[in-house]
């Protein structure tokens, strides 16, 4: 039996610390209006940092900070073109959950 097996497989009552950390961090990323707006933009296509800032009426600094947050969680990635960085989504599963929740919230 695999030592790295998660507790879900054992149907245990509590979650192991690492799973708990990853899950809470990921949901936390989706738990802020600014990050949701950024990710919602990136559903459709890539954007530069300034592109996001202008579209969402946010400071460049704010966008950059939140992108770093999302990048650390591998929820977004970027490609460089000259001095411009184009950010795009990097976790299809999480993006699907975001879409689901937006639809869930809209169907009231």
Contact (Cβ atoms closer than 8 angstroms) between residue 58 and residue 17: no
Helix, strand or coil for residue 30?
Answer: coil
Binding DNA by CB under 7 A: which of 14, 83, 105, 106? 83
Q: C-beta of 104: minimal distance to DNA in Å?
A: 20
Is residue 27 a contact point for its own copies (CB under 8 A)? yes
Both tokens of 71, joined, read: 């990048």
Query: From DNA, its own copies, none, which one binds at residue 68 (CB under 5 to 8 Å depending on kind)?
Result: DNA
Contact map string, positions 38 to 77, toward its own copies, x by CB under 8 A: --xx--x----------xx---------------------
Give pairs for 88-94: CB < 8 Å, separation 24+: 88/42, 88/45, 88/46, 88/47, 89/39, 89/42, 89/43, 94/26, 94/29, 94/30
Q: Which of 60, 61, 72, 100 binds its own copies (CB under 8 A)?
A: 100
């Amino acid at each position: 039996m695999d030592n790295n097996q998660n507790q879900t497989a054992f149907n245990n009552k509590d979650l192991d610390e690492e799973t708990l950390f990853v899950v809470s961090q990921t949901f936390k990323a989706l738990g802020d209006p600014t990050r949701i707006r950024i990710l919602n933009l990136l559903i459709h296509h890539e954007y530069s940092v300034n592109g996001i800032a202008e579209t969402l009426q946010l400071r460049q600094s704010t966008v950059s900070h939140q992108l770093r947050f999302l990048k650390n969680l591998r929820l977004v990635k970027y490609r460089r073109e000259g001095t411009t960085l184009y950010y795009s989504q990097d976790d299809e599963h999480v993006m699907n959950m975001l879409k689901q929740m937006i639809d869930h919230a809209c169907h009231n």
